[in-house]
Amino acid sequence: GKALKDRDNIYRVGGDEFLYISTESTEDVLWNKVKFIRRLERIITRDEKIPFSVDASFGIASSNETESGDPEEVYILADKRMDQMKRNLKRERV
């Protein structure tokens, strides 16, 4: 199957950060994609033939979670959630 729908877009916003915009996906669909990526992370990390691990952080936000629905506000909210996830992951590793 196709990972992205025709109306979905992914953009590199810097370094190893990407912005995924979907106009059709529900929050449940997005979290299912996150779960899939988490499974891939575990598979890669457990495979002794792969000399590196993969770690991803996510921040999911919807336009109906902000007052104006402005795309920049949605991006800021998603970015804050991603930063919180990164902090939580760092705490778990210690």
Q: What is the mean pLDDT of the chain?
A: 83
Full-model pTM: 0.71
| pLDDT at res. 5 | 55
pLDDT greater than 80 at residue 86:
yes
Instruction: Please list the alpha-helical segments (H only) found in the chain.
Output: 27-46, 71-93
Cβ-proximal residues to 69 (8 Å cutoff; 6+ apart), any chain: 63
pLDDT greater than 80 at residue 4:
no
- The answer to whether the beta carbons of residues 56 and 41 sit under 8 Å apart is yes
